[in-house]
Amino acid sequence: MSVDGWHTLLVLGGIRSGKSEFAESLVADAPTVRYVATAPAGDPEDTEWATRLAAHRARRPGSWSTEETAADPGRLVEVIAAAGPNETLLVDDLGGWVTVLLDPAHQPADDTATIAELAAAVRASTARLVLVSPEVGLSLVPTTPLGRAFTDALGATNRAVADACDAVALVVAGQTAWLKPATPAAPAHAVPPAATSPEATSPEAVPADLGAGDVTLPEVLTPAAAPVPAPETSSRPGTGDWAAPTMALPMIATGLVIQPGMELPMPDDYTGPQAVDRLATLDIPGAGLGVLEQVVGFAAATQGTSAPRPWDSVRVLLIKGDHEGGASAGAAPGESARRARQARAGRGALARLAAENRAGLQIVEAPSSAPMEDGPALSADEVEAALRYGWRLAEQAADAGVQLLVLAACGAGAEAAAAAVLAATAGAEPPTVLGRVVTEQGEIDDTAWMVRCAAVRDALHRTRRSAREAKDVLAELGGGDIALATGVLLGATARKVPVLLDGPVGTAAAMVSRDLAGQARHWCLLPDHGGRPGVRLAADVLGLTPLVDLRLDLGEGATALAALPLLRSALTLAATLPVHPSLGGPDDEGGTDERTGDDGRDAGRTEDEPDFAEPEPAGPGPTTIGADEPVSPGRRAD
């Protein structure tokens, strides 16, 4: 499984085009790669050919293994057919394979049948497979019979393998053009008129035809910070206007297959500890950053640098997905829809905190989940659709330059569904991980809590003999919101975007995602467990240490946003403070290091990054999105 949706890929290119280097870069994140070398050894006296082979070998990491198939053209088919779903194969190249195929030592033979067998093996392969091949169709027709036989056989091979692969790329002069699937141009998207009814302002649901190319993802809202009222008018509430959507991307059918054992990227193992060690050298009074050192280490590992920068571009994904039956006992009818409309209008705790953090807000409606005590919460097809839709939401955010995602949720019955997932994946007792039910009046509803516990108990009893695979848990117990959140976590991991979690839906999704891709949990940060027992247990199982203990209960996602300024402050200090004078930093009077001439102000900053400017005095004016682009209410933030 690759991070770009393809499963099998053919890389074409001319001589010295860079096709092999490009193919190698596609599998660089895989922990192990089996390199299948097809070229024969050649003439021992041909030093130039030997030099080429040596250069190919030198580029391969030490963790890769090499398998030679030049002795038998049928061996390549056997290797591809035997590769399992957790393996990564790089075949370089099919030109060498055709050379062996046409060798008189392997004739007479039915070359057409052998090529067809290769294409069938590629089409049926469950491994992550990259094949490299020379593109000979652009050259002149050879003048010799042997040359024509080679180009004809290689051309037939390329056509058959290209038809069998999920994706095909052509490399010319080091530049890559994707031939399959072709990416259509984004259609023109008009800003919708202001909605005047609850139906018009409801979140966009996960479409049934998820794989279609014309499906549009939900709009991304940019909240404006509420104005601080003057003392004499402190009773007048702020309105918090919103800008128009910043983008609308088409849904492209990529052939994405989400399955257990996916090989997704891991954060950098070295830069995290380096960044924490570097903190000991900074000119910090007192004992330092305390538990916030974890934030610095996390940001360094996910950014791949020992001097991480604060997250500038943040997006909140608010998932609204209701659960029917006993899971939603005690929830006011229509409350989740009201919360979603409230967030879209720029009101409520989540929207206000998003505005204060200059974060975008995207509201997504997950499929409604059937009563889990009576039957599956979702069908298998709905689970697949929700996973892929969540993955695409993360891809959209990464393409827009988002550096941090915050997972939020507001569905009725979500906490009970999360408790069921925890019971199924971690062996928890439902009453111990299911939080108390609080009514709109702030009262504890123990009767509703017991109904929720009974629903989870009955659902677990119903599925006691069912499989506990990730997709089975989502279909039977998790429902639409947790399935969609799982897809978001997997997509964010694939695109190396860290995610803040703070509630039951996010942590339940993290529990499920570890069975699909164990790397996903390493891209998650838990600022606070919010006093929720289920979140606390999931954090312990996942190895996520809560940073603070605010015990806020403002809705899932709000706690993470409330803690975000503190996390950013820690990263700002780590990136900008100079080295202590005793270790060669500037002295108390702003002098320079006599050994280097450095005044310490460039600590943690790259060469092309300017010094921080003095802050401008606060004054009236529109909320700004970028450094020099004001955005007034109702204006699109492009």
SS (H, E, C) 506-536: HHHHHHHHHHHCCCHHHHEECCCCCCCHHHH
Residue-wise burial string across 90-129, b where 16 or more C-beta atoms lie within 10 A, e elsewhere: bbbbbbbbbbbbbeeeeeeeebeebbebbbebbeebbbbb
Residue-wise burial string across 390-403, b where 16 or more C-beta atoms lie within 10 A, e elsewhere: bbbbbbbbbeeebb
SS3 (DSSP) at 128: strand
Amino acid sitting at position 101? L
* CA angle 112–113–119, rounded 5-degree value: 90
Strands, E, within 395-544: which ranges?
404-409, 499-500, 524-525
SS3 (DSSP) at 35: strand
How far is 436 from 438, CA to CA, in rounded Å? 6
How far is 469 from 17, CA to CA, in rounded Å? 43
- Please give the radius of gyration of the chain, using alpha carbons only, rounded to the nearest integer: 28
Looking from the CA of 272 toward its CB, the CA atoms found within 13 Å total: 14
Q: Which helix (H) or strand (E) holds 361?
A: strand 360-365
Backbone torsions φ then ψ of 177, nearest 5 degrees: -120, 125
Residues carrying an active site annotation: 556
Record the tokens describing residue 281, joined without a space.
């050298």
Residue-wise burial string across 599-622, b where 16 or more C-beta atoms lie within 10 A, e elsewhere: ebeebbeeeeeeeeeeeeeeeeee
Record the tokens describing residue 462, joined without a space.
């119903």
Amino acid sitting at position 308? P
612-to-89, 326, 508, 586, 605 alpha-carbon distances in Å? 47, 55, 40, 18, 10
How far is 601 from 577, CA to CA, in rounded Å? 7
Looking from the CA of 228 toward its CB, the CA atoms found within 13 Å total: 5
Record the tokens describing residue 3, joined without a space.
């991070």
